[in-house]
């Protein structure tokens, strides 16, 4: 990053004018305050800050501010059953007081905040005004961010404008550690150090603050631990600016030095001032948007929703840290304790693979570092290879709770940690997708091949050869979590077969191209030719549930014998179907919680013979209750690829509504980041029809009727491409912006793409 870039030319307190780049909220509904805090959160993959109100010492607000540090997990607290993400120090708090004309000094009451999330700049802005009668007038404009250029850094800037003279105003900025479970080691005026009570992690924090008028510091504040208080006599037309810069450093063990590192990070940013911090941050966001933006014309609402999705995806990843991944709610809330699911590999990695390969690599290296835990879980359950944790935190250990409280308040045994085993194939799928898109040889040799081999080894031992001469996987849960302990789930079995075949392909590749590395890895893993033959036999004999007569995959053995319930009779319901029907009847029915066979169609369309894709989508779409935030996105992707554009756009709108619709169920637990990944997937992999091929990229565009153009950028094996699809002109245009010539296949026809624009006539 260029540290000479220290000036922004725009008003930093004003949002980008184009509404497609901004999200606005002027409401004051306290019941939805938690949802607003999640929706307007800022994050950079290391730090996440919810859009909480600045909390005063009287504690008048129901919801405390929340800042999260990625990877800071602990099992602290009397009710802690599993490792959970720990909130850290609340560093954005402030308080105003002023002299009345008569009476004691009292806190200034402010109007509800008007929020603007500037997605282009990665900044949250707010404005509010004094509403207390009889006190000096005060107006506030604020913004805060967590830097995308220096991920340890957070910045808050407040502009205070007064319109009356002669009043004494008191302004206090402070940080509060009381709502964090971290154990304090040190707390001074400008820094603090803590550790987790059980996991042995360290956190250091350094902070600097100042108050200025026309660029000149306003007096010397009264100081206390993490506290600055200024008092001054106001003059009409006064405009003061307060800034606060904070640096957080996490260490995953008890090594010393986190405070020194935090101070070093802070010193670098103090040297360029808050304007320099802002400028570097905005430049980093601009760089990411150049590669990641998706532009559509004809549908302004969907354009804004796409930008929101990409904003969340950019802010969720940190390519500099291989020891963390992206939880189900990113760093925007505490639902699921910050745990990582299959969501990351299936719904998020595609975006990073195609726009930000460094981030995809870090996410997959996280899975590599968790491999020993996956091996231990498989061994503990009596199998070989690697069975990844269904819910993962900062180790490879399973962190899924054993029990949960159901919608009817009954205690339910949670089997997903034991039976939802497709996670191992999901990780392998993401590894192969990354390899196919990047040909990152170092990753394949150092990590990817080992993941593929150990997951294939698991499936070979898990799929049991029975008397019918076929391999079966019994006692399983597929993506449809309404049905537990089922046999031969189609998604699981077909993904397992695919996993074993890709591992065999990888073994052959290593033997041919890197024989020395193959010899070393196969010896270390005790991987023999006999075992490779077992994988091949297991892949060839595993039951898939496909019926060649109907063209349908049976979701699991016996599924077609279950009660077939017409979901149209329950249209308009506001609760999931397992609540409507009860858990037991739902399990005895064909109603699925989310895309299962449809998810298989989305990931492995080549596993469906010609004509069967439409039949499977039609059958299972009618029986899906969409009880998961992941479901509509996968249906949107598949419908778009099948050319069912009206259905696809309806599912896409349902997906965007999850986090953006103000009338939707509360999202105070955090943004559904995987659903946001599904929004990008639907646009680029669905409507543009982008596919990864061995010889290049393929496109089969089918735009919605309202979209006149679709433009985006992608990466492929060291190349950068700009793609533009024009529905009116029936034309796809691709520009190779960097890298060697390649093949682009559009609607089945191959075209050589060099460093010039290549217009391609297409039909869609």
| Most confidently predicted of 47-61, 146-160, 172-186 | 146-160
Q: Which of 334, 420, 481, 484 is catalytic?
A: 481
Gap between the Cα atoms of 78 and 519, Å rounded = 50
Gap between the Cα atoms of 538 and 676, Å rounded = 36
DSSP 422-474: THHHHHHHHHHHHHHHH--HHHIIIIIHHHHHHHHHHHHHHSEE-TTSSEE--
263 close to 676: Cβ distance less than 8 angstroms: no
* More confident of the two residues 461 and 694: 461
- The alpha carbon of 637 is separated from its chain's Cα centroid by a whole number of angstroms, namely 18
211 close to 95: Cβ distance less than 8 angstroms: no
Mean of pLDDT values over 109-132: 84
Q: Is the pLDDT assigned to residue 58 strictly greater than 70? A: no
Q: Is the pLDDT assigned to residue 81 strictly greater than 80? A: no
Nearest CA-CA partner of 445 in 453, 456, 437, 455: 453
- Of 178-192, 447-461, 549-563, the least confident: 178-192
Q: Is the pLDDT assigned to residue 43 strictly greater than 90? A: yes
Go through the domains of the chain in sequence order and give each one's CATH number: 19-290 (2.70.98.40), 293-687 (1.50.10.10)
Residue 338's Cβ-side half-sphere holds a number of Cα atoms within 13 Å equal to 27
Question: 107: pLDDT confidence band, cut at 50, 70 and 90?
Answer: low
Pair type for strands 696-699 and 742-746: parallel
- Residue 452, Cβ density class (10 Å: 0-12 exposed, 13-18 middle, ≥19 buried): buried
Gap between the Cα atoms of 23 and 465, Å rounded = 55
Neighbours of 300 (CB within 10 A): 12
Mean of pLDDT values over 390-411: 86
- Of 114-123, 178-187, 302-311, 600-609, the least confident: 178-187
In this structure, what token pair is assigned to residue 713? 């950028």
- Of 302-316, 601-615, 650-664, the least confident: 650-664
Q: Is the pLDDT assigned to residue 246 strictly greater than 60? A: yes
What does pLDDT average to over the chain?
91
User: Which residue has tokens 């919680």?
Assistant: 593
Q: Which residues contact 709 (CB under 8 A, 6 or more apart)?
A: 295, 296, 297, 298, 724, 725, 726, 727
Q: What is the pLDDT of residues 122-141, one digit of tens each?
A: 999 999 876 555 555 778 89
Q: Is the dihedral of CA 283, 288, 290, 296 positive or negative?
A: negative
In 99-137, beta strands by DSSP E: 106-107, 114-118, 123-129
Question: 163: pLDDT confidence band, cut at 50, 70 and 90?
Answer: confident
pLDDT of residue 139: 85
Q: What is the pLDDT of residues 15-36, one digit of tens each?
A: 999 999 999 998 777 778 889 9
Mean of pLDDT values over 540-559: 97
Mean of pLDDT values over 535-551: 97
Specify the DSSP element, H or E, that contains 354. helix 349-355
In this structure, what token pair is assigned to residue 676? 């946001």
Q: Which residues contact 10 (CB under 8 A, 6 or more apart)?
A: none
Nearest CA-CA partner of 110 in 69, 68, 53, 193: 53
In this structure, what token pair is assigned to residue 459? 């499936």
In this structure, what token pair is assigned to residue 608? 């469906």
Helices 371-380 & 449-462 angle (0-180, nearest 10):
10
Classified as helix, coil or strand, 273 is: helix
User: Which residue has tokens 């099992």?
Assistant: 75
User: Can you name the residues that pair with 713 across neighbouring β-strands?
Assistant: 722
Q: What is the pLDDT of residues 461-512, one digit of tens each?
A: 999 999 999 999 999 999 999 999 999 999 999 999 999 999 999 999 999 9
Q: Is the pLDDT assigned to residue 218 strictly greater than 50? A: yes
pLDDT of residue 535: 98
Gap between the Cα atoms of 407 and 405, Å rounded = 7
User: Can you name the residues that pair with 195 across neighbouring β-strands?
Assistant: 183, 202
In this structure, what token pair is assigned to residue 464? 């049991």
Gap between the Cα atoms of 57 and 337, Å rounded = 27
Nearest CA-CA partner of 313 in 330, 294, 291: 330
* More confident of the two residues 104 and 725: 725
pLDDT of residue 9: 64
Q: Is the pLDDT assigned to residue 652 strictly greater than 80? A: yes
Q: What is the pLDDT of residues 147-156, one digit of tens each?
A: 999 999 999 9
Percent over 70 (pLDDT), the chain? 91
Q: Is the pLDDT assigned to residue 711 strictly greater than 50? A: yes
pLDDT of residue 135: 57
The yes-or-no answer on residue 481 being catalytic is yes
User: Which residue has tokens 């010492």?
Assistant: 57
């Amino acid at each position: 990053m260029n540290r000479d870039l220290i000036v922004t030319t725009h008003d930093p307190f004003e949002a980008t004018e184009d509404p497609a780049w901004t999200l606005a909220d002027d409401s004051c509904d306290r019941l939805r305050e938690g949802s607003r805090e999640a929706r307007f959160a800022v994050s950079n993959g290391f730090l996440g800050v919810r859009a909480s109100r600045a909390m005063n010492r009287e504690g008048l607000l129901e919801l405390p501010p929340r800042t999260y540090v990625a990877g800071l997990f602990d099992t602290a607290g009397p009710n802690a059953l599993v490792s959970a993400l720990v909130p850290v120090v609340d560093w954005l708090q402030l308080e105003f007081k002023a002299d009345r004309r008569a009476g004691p000094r009292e806190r200034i009451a402010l109007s509800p905040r008007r929020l603007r999330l500037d997605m282009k700049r990665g900044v949250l802005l707010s404005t509010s005004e004094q509403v207390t009668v009889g006190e000096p007038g005060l107006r506030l404009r604020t913004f805060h961010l967590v830097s995308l250029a220096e991920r340890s850094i957070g910045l808050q800037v407040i502009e205070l404008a007064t319109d009356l003279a002669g009043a004494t105003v008191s302004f206090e900025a402070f940080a509060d550690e009381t709502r964090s479970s971290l154990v304090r080691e040190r707390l001074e005026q400008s820094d603090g150090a803590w550790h987790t009570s059980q996991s042995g992690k360290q956190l250091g924090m350094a902070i600097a603050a100042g108050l200025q008028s026309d660029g000149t510091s306003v007096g010397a504040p009264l100081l206390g631990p993490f506290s600055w208080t200024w008092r001054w006599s106001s003059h009409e037309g006064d405009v003061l600016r307060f800034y606060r810069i904070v640096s957080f450093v996490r260490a995953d063990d008890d090594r010393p030095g986190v405070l020194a590192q935090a101070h070093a990070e802070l010193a670098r940013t103090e040297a360029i001032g808050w304007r320099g911090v802002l400028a570097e941050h905005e430049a980093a966001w601009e760089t990411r948007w150049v590669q990641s933006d998706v532009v559509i014309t004809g549908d302004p609402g969907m354009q804004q929703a796409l930008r929101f999705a990409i904003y969340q995806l950019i802010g969720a990843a940190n390519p500099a840290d291989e020891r963390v991944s992206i939880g189900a709610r990113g760093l925007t809330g505490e639902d699921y304790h910050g745990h990582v699911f299959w969501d990351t590999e299936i719904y998020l990695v595609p975006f990073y693979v195609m726009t930000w390969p460094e981030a995809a690599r870090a996410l997959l290296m996280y899975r590599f570092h968790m491999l020993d835990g996956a091996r231990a879980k498989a061994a503990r359950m009596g199998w070989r290879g690697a069975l990844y944790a269904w819910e993962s935190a900062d180790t490879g250990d399973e962190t899924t709770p054993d029990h949960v409280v159901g919608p009817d308040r009954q205690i339910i045994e949670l089997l997903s940690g034991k039976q939802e085993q497709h996670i191992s194939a999901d990780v392998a799928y993401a590894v192969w997708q990354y390899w196919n898109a990047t040909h990152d040889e170092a990753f394949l040799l150092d990590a990817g091949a080992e993941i593929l081999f150990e997951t294939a080894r698991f499936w070979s031992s898990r799929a049991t050869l029975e008397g019918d001469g076929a391999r079966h996987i019994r006692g399983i849960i597929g993506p449809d979590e309404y049905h537990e302990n089922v046999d031969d789930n189609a998604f699981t079995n077909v993904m397992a077969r695919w996993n074993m075949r890709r591992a065999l392909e990888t073994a052959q590749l290593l033997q041919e191209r890197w024989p020395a590395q193959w010899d070393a890895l196969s010896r270390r893993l005790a991987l023999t030719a006999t075992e490779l033959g077992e994988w091949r036999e297991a892949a060839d004999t595993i039951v898939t549930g496909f019926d060649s007569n109907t063209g349908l995959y049976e979701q699991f053995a016996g599924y077609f014998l279950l009660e077939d319930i017409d979901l149209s009779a329950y249209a308009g319901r506001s609760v999931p179907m397992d609540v409507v029907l009860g858990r037991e009847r739902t399990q005895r029915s064909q109603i699925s919680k989310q895309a299962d066979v449809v998810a298989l169609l989305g990931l492995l369309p080549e596993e469906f013979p010609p004509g069967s894709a439409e039949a499977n989508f039609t059958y299972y779409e009618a029986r899906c209750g969409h009880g998961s935030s992941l479901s509509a996105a996968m249906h949107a992707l598949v419908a778009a690829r099948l050319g069912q554009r009206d259905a696809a756009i309806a599912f896409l709108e349902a997906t965007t509504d999850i986090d953006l619709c103000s009338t939707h169920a509360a999202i105070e637990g955090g943004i559904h980041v995987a659903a946001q990944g599904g929004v990008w997937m639907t646009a680029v992999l669905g409507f543009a029809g982008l596919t990864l091929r061995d010889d290049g990229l393929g496109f089969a565009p089918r735009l919605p009727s309202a979209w006149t153009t679709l433009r985006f950028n992608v990466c492929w094996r060291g190349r950068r491409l700009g793609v533009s699809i024009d529905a009116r002109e029936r034309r796809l245009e691709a520009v190779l912006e960097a890298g060697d010539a390649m093949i682009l296949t559009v609607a089945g026809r191959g075209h050589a793409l060099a460093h010039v624009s290549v217009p391609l006539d297409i039909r869609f």
